[in-house]
Structure 1
Amino acid sequence: MSLRVDPTFRDVLATATRPLVGMWVCSGSPLVAEICAGSGLDWVLIDAEHSPNGLESLLAQLQAVRGYPITPLVRPPAADPVTIKQFLDLGAQNLLVPMVDTAAQARDVVRAVTYPPAGVRGVGSALARASRWNRIEGYLARAAETLSVLVQIESAEAVANVDAIAAVAGVDGLFIGPSDLAASLGVLGQQDHPDVVDAVLHCLSAARRAGRKVGVNAFDPTLAERYLDAGADFVLVGADVQLLARGTEQLAATFIPEETA
């Protein structure tokens, strides 16, 4: 019996007729991930860099969202080839790798997701959900077709090197992270600072020149619209934990009277 694999984020972006809108899934909960997967959004980013996610919770969330018309991306905690191997074997088809500052680092990421001789990904397909335990015919030979790889631009160094990073073969797209970028530029917490906005716009233009798909994190609707107008192909506009935090605060503010002095 031969099983299919889902379209990659690269495939979905290639056929999209509009920018794709997504949200973070950071709670570590398969139930929350499933709720978000049924939202009508285009994609979710399951985060393991700043969220309480390990291999087991990541697997459960990938299983929970698979039955929904949404594309899951996974962000590993770092560009570590061992972690990347484990995430791929779990069946993560779309990786967003953080803190890629140079073309050399981007090439290392591509090697980490690629089997030898072109890369260094360890071979364990018979044991892995990625190949459906060798039920996907010819998985080893065509593994690259089943994966998409995006790298995150989120430092002043990465902005300076964005043209070289975008030119790396095997990188399917760039994603710009204004929060860390603001910190790197010396304006911590000011994602709307003119220097940050200019850096994001510069990266959007560089990606477009290189023919790469490009996205950006933009919770502020005004910034999101500006970046979409500038050519962003995909955006993140919210997060499960953010929505829960603000929503519960609003309940408290609505129903609990303020203390009188």
Structure 2
Amino acid sequence: MKSAFILREKISGSDPVLGLLATFHFWPGLVDIAIESGFDFLIIDLEHLTHNQESVADACAIGRRTDFPILIRPPSAEFTQVRLAMDLGPCGLLVPYVESTETLDEVRDAVYMKPRGRRRPGGPGNSWVKHVDYNYSTWLREVEDQLIILPQIESKQGLANVDAIAADPLTTALAIGPYDLSADLGICWEPDHPLLVQAFADIKQAAAKAGKNMWAIGDGATMMNRGFNFICLTEATSQLQATLTQMVKDSRKMGSTSKDTAVGNDGGTDEIPI
């Protein structure tokens, strides 16, 4: 899949690779928004909510047609959940709560067809392969060989096994789940706590030792100042709410200090054309 190849190439470089997460709401048009906004990838999060599967498959198809990377976060690393996520046609997976290479073995079984795994492909996200053929070599070339797997370290056990997880051939890049990891470390949600800061550093170091990158989520400037370049900048609905909240605050503040109409540089009011 060309979109997977493109993202792999970007991950292996040093330029910023910036993504968007869709957890609370998702619709296929968000793919266009992500592309037009200049993002490098979109992750559709199925861990906490089950978005409409047909819409997710449609989004993955848009990604394939436009060579824009669409990844899915399945509900868990369990075989059936990963297999069903693959049936929607993503170019990769953000796999939650990976604690060991044994967990990755189960993921491997779910993403690879026999003889490498136990996957039984199907579903709307895989029908495009038939336009070539269903030969095993086609699955290898079009789906498996460039597939992106990002294991999330979200627990103390995962942190203890991070070197082995990083070195596993299935791992494209390491990833962190900072909220759940902070909770397991007993510092739920203290993002600047030394224990969590050290966990970030340990995961990044393990990835570097394996010759791989690390995915993180957070403010772009802050994360880049900490040495990260593979960054999910925000969750779409959370960003919308934060932006709207700030707009309301700014407008009310302006209203309390001036009764005059805000006038733009051209002498007209600053209006949104609708």
Give the aligned partner of residue 236 of structure 1. 232
| Aligned counterparts of 1:123 and 1:25: Cα–Cα separation in 2 | 25
- Residues 1:121 and 2:119 are matched in the alignment: yes
Give the aligned partner of residue 265 of structure 2. none
1:146-161 correspondence runs (5 A): 146-161=146-161
Give the aligned partner of residue 187 of structure 1. 187
**Alignment CA distance shift 1:71-1:47 (3 Å):** same
Letter in 1 for 2:244: T
| Aligned counterparts of 1:221 and 1:25: Cα–Cα separation in 2 | 21
Give the aligned partner of residue 84 of structure 1. 82
1:40-119 correspondence runs (5 A): 40-66=38-64, 68=66, 70-119=68-117
| Greater shift in the superposed pair: 78-87 or 187-196 | 78-87
SS in structure 1 of the partner of residue 130 of structure 2: coil
- Residues 1:18 and 2:15 are matched in the alignment: yes
Q: How many residues align?
A: 249
What are the Cα deviations for residues 59-101 of structure 1, in whole angstroms up to 9, with x where unaligned?
Answer: 1332444555642221111112222222222211211110001
What are the Cα deviations for residues 137-192 of structure 1, in whole angstroms up to 9, with x where unaligned?
Answer: 54234342142211111111111110111122222111112111111111111122
| Aligned counterparts of 2:225 and 2:191: Cα–Cα separation in 1 | 13
**1:206 Cα deviation (Å)?**
0.8
Q: 1:134 aligned to 130, 135, 153, which one?
A: 130
**1:226 Cα deviation (Å)?**
3.6
1:170-209 correspondence runs (5 A): 170-209=170-209
| Aligned counterparts of 1:191 and 1:13: Cα–Cα separation in 2 | 25
Give the aligned partner of residue 215 of structure 1. 215
TM-score (normalizing by structure 1): 0.85
| Aligned counterparts of 1:128 and 1:241: Cα–Cα separation in 2 | 26
Which entry has the higher C-alpha Rg, 1 or 2? Answer: 2
**Alignment CA distance shift 1:41-1:123 (3 Å):** closer
Would the aligned equivalents of 2:10 and 2:17 in 1 still touch at CA under 8 Å? no
| Aligned counterparts of 1:255 and 1:99: Cα–Cα separation in 2 | 42
**Alignment CA distance shift 1:237-1:6 (3 Å):** closer
Letter in 2 for 1:18: D
**1:117 Cα deviation (Å)?**
1.9
- Residues 1:246 and 2:242 are matched in the alignment: yes
The share of aligned pairs that are identical, in percent, is 29
Would the aligned equivalents of 2:42 and 2:69 in 1 still touch at CA under 8 Å? yes
User: What is the aligned-residue RMSD (CA, Å)?
Assistant: 2.4
**Alignment CA distance shift 1:17-1:206 (3 Å):** closer
**1:116 Cα deviation (Å)?**
1.3
**1:134 Cα deviation (Å)?**
1.5
TM-score (normalizing by structure 2): 0.81
Q: Which runs of 5+ in 1 are unaligned?
A: none
SS in structure 1 of the partner of residue 163 of structure 2: helix
What are the Cα deviations for residues 10-37 of structure 1, in whole angstroms up to 9, with x where unaligned?
Answer: 34423x3413111212321222332122
SS in structure 2 of the partner of residue 134 of structure 1: helix
**Alignment CA distance shift 1:226-1:107 (3 Å):** farther
SS in structure 2 of the partner of residue 45 of structure 1: strand
Q: Which runs of 5+ in 2 are unaligned?
A: 257-274
| Aligned counterparts of 1:17 and 1:197: Cα–Cα separation in 2 | 22
SS in structure 1 of the partner of residue 38 of structure 2: coil
| Aligned counterparts of 2:179 and 2:16: Cα–Cα separation in 1 | 21
**1:128 Cα deviation (Å)?**
4.8
Would the aligned equivalents of 1:89 and 1:128 in 2 still touch at CA under 8 Å? yes
| Aligned counterparts of 2:50 and 2:124: Cα–Cα separation in 1 | 23
| Aligned counterparts of 1:87 and 1:7: Cα–Cα separation in 2 | 16
Would the aligned equivalents of 1:159 and 1:203 in 2 still touch at CA under 8 Å? yes
**1:241 Cα deviation (Å)?**
0.8
